[in-house]
Amino acid sequence: MKPIITCIQLDIKFGDTDFNYHQAEEKIALAVKQEKSTIIVLPELWTTGYDLTRLDEIADKEGERTKSFLIDLAKKYQVHIVGGSVAKMSDEKVTNTMFIVDKSGQIIHEYSKLHLFKLMNEHHFLTAGQEKGLFDLAGLKSAGLICYDIRFPEWVRAHTTEGAEVLFVVAEWPMPRLHHWKTLLLSRAIENQCYVIACNRSGIDPDNEFAGHSLIIDPWGNILAEADENPGMISAEINSEMVKQVRSQIPIFNDRLPEYYK
């Protein structure tokens, strides 16, 4: 059975965690019913938005509320969830952290954003992660990336050279750089010969307008599904065999010469 992946593009309410959890729960239920989703993906910082100055009040302590929330819904609906990312408070530090939960309710990986985006002051309020985002989900060799990470092709390649066939990208990408969002995602798919599942947010906060346009892209760089700028969801069926076919047809991973790239 080929997985059906759904990106839920939310309009996140600035700093209102209770509203945002409730909204996500409603949309996950709808995705399961309406889209017959196998894997559901949420956007970046979907519990708080970019209310960074209040993270000492609203960040999720050790991620416990979010983990419990995702585990319960994954088990209830028998669906895998790539849980976007949330502000996780741990030892007086806050990371921008993605939790991946399988349909049995097991947390199979967590990834904290490596590249902090200084133009939105992340470095003043967040601590960078230190580990890769590699995981296996529903038989797919996968990697998680968060927003600004996609501007660093060497970081993406560090995952695909270790076998990642699907890149799950979650973001709060702003409208003024929509062209960059689409171009970078298409490039990452083509150059790594992999699927890119990119879930962005929509709407506005006190300082930003967000682009939406969540995307599902195949290993040839074809767009299988694209949202507009409004809240909603997109879905597509993917086939990991296509990754193997594309990589065998144009064997860039065999032809790499990393000794010359340093």
pLDDT over 80 at 144, yes or no: yes
Token pair of 59 as six digits: 């960040």
* Gyration radius from the chain CA atoms: 17
Mean pLDDT of 158-168: 98
Q: Quick check: helix, strand or coil at residue 86?
A: strand
Task: Name which of 139, 154, 126, 106 is nearest 2 in CA terms.
Answer: 139
Give the whole-angstrom CA distance, residue 92 versus residue 100.
23
**What proportion of the chain, given as a percentage, has pLDDT over 70?**
100
pLDDT tens-digit readout, 212-250 = 999 999 999 999 999 999 999 999 999 999 999 999 999
Q: Which of the four CATH numbers 3.30.300.160, 1.10.10.10, 3.60.110.10, 3.90.1280.20 does domain 4-260 have?
A: 3.60.110.10
Q: In which band, very low, low, confident or very high, does the pLDDT at 89 lie, cut at 50, 70 and 90? A: very high
Where along the chain do its domains lie?
4-260
Task: Specify the pairing of strand 86-90 against strand 60-61.
Answer: parallel
pLDDT over 90 at 252, yes or no: yes
pLDDT tens-digit readout, 49-75 = 999 999 999 999 999 999 999 999 999
Mean pLDDT of 156-181: 98
Query: Catalytic residues, which ones?
Result: 44, 113, 147
Q: For residue 250, what are the contacts with CB-CB under 8 A and spacing of at least 6?
A: 193
pLDDT tens-digit readout, 179-204 = 999 999 999 999 999 999 999 999 99
pLDDT tens-digit readout, 96-123 = 999 999 999 999 999 999 999 999 999 9
Mean pLDDT of 127-149: 97
Q: For residue 142, what are the contacts with CB-CB under 8 A and spacing of at least 6?
A: 134, 135, 136, 164, 165, 166, 167, 168
Q: In which band, very low, low, confident or very high, does the pLDDT at 92 lie, cut at 50, 70 and 90? A: confident
